[in-house]
């Protein structure tokens, strides 16, 4: 997938020589989707910090709290809404340039 979270996790795994990124924190602009959240669990990151919530597809807190499910073998600490207003502006600018 081309989502930034998946790409960042893949590159970090390559640089560290291990797909398990235990002890690592992932900082992202937008609340992750289901696919990205699942990839984070698989990578076993310790913490996720995101800026803007995503009310339509956010699977960390907005639509569902996928990362808090008890059946996962790994739990991720979540901090959301960090610099949410600037993050929204940045995303708006990014997508305006893409179109």
User: Which sequence positions are flagged as catalytic?
Assistant: 5
CA–CA separation, 70 vs 34, rounded Å? 16
Angle formed by the axes of helices 4-16 and 34-43, nearest 10°: 20
Nearest CA to 9 among 50, 19, 17?
Answer: 19
Q: How far does the chain reach from its first CA to its final CA, in angstroms? A: 20
């Amino acid at each position: 997938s081309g989502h930034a979270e998946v790409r960042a996790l893949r590159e970090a795994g390559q640089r560290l020589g291990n797909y398990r990124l235990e002890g690592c924190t992932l900082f992202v602009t937008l609340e992750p989707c289901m696919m990205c959240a699942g990839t984070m669990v698989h990578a076993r990151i310790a913490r996720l910090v995101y800026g803007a919530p995503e009310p339509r597809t956010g699977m960390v807190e907005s639509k569902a709290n996928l990362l808090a499910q008890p059946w996962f073998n790994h739990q991720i600490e979540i901090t959301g809404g960090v610099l949410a207003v600037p993050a929204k502006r940045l995303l708006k600018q990014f997508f305006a340039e893409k179109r």
